[in-house]
Amino acid sequence: MKFELDYIEQLVKMVSDSELTELTLEDADKAIVIRKEKEVVQAQVMPQAFAAAPVAQAPVAAPAAEEKKEEAPKGKPITSPMVGTFYMASSPGAKPFVEVGQTVSTGQVVCIIEAMKLMNEIESEVSGKVTQICVKDGEAVEYGQVLMYVE
């Protein structure tokens, strides 16, 4: 499969216009990764070994309505140990593992991150009260991203 420039441009536009944060297409010897970061969508065509080689960049308009001043988070962060999808409960419609204001103990399951079709329970590394949940249910998370704060 050969990645044509028009095809790559269409994929970049699709990611820019959607809530997707990353799109990866793989072929036997090549892969293309399109990643949306704060204000830039980057497309990379790489050999399967994933050596970085930028191909195209297109600016993405930053939503002005979301420019709110947020308070400094209180407490210690619980971060994602992997890339995946964040879930607040064990199944749709089930009670969330934790809610803001709830007290958690070290080792208590606070969420699930689905990665490669595996459900990974994330445990709290600290005890205290949940002061903020930074991710929405079903949202994609990155390695090291703050999921919640515990004070």
Q: Percent of the chain at pLDDT above 90?
A: 44
Whether 112 has a pLDDT exceeding 70, the answer reads yes
Whether 47 has a pLDDT exceeding 90, the answer reads no
Domains of the chain and any CATH numbers: 5-62 (no CATH), 76-150 (2.40.50.100)
Whether 40 has a pLDDT exceeding 60, the answer reads no
| Rounded distance between C-alpha atoms, residue 132 and residue 144, angstroms | 16
Q: Please state the rounded mean pLDDT for residues 52-65.
A: 49
| Rounded distance between C-alpha atoms, residue 81 and residue 95, angstroms | 23
Closest CA to 141 of 82, 90, 99: 82
Residue-level pLDDT at 6: 77
Q: Please state the rounded mean pLDDT for residues 100-125.
A: 92
Whether 39 has a pLDDT exceeding 50, the answer reads yes
Whether 106 has a pLDDT exceeding 60, the answer reads yes
| Rounded distance between C-alpha atoms, residue 60 and residue 113, angstroms | 28
Alpha-carbon torsion angle 33, 143, 145, 12, nearest 10: 0
Residue-level pLDDT at 54: 46
More confident residue, 54 or 138: 138
Q: Please state the rounded mean pLDDT for residues 48-55.
A: 46
Residue-level pLDDT at 145: 92
Mean pLDDT in the chain?
A: 78
Cα Dmax for the chain: 53
Q: Does an H or E element contain 111, and which?
A: strand 109-115
Two tokens at 137? 């249910």
Q: What is the pLDDT of residues 20-37, one digit of tens each?
A: 777 777 766 777 777 776
Q: What is the pLDDT of residues 59-99, one digit of tens each?
A: 555 555 444 555 666 789 999 999 999 999 998 889 999 99
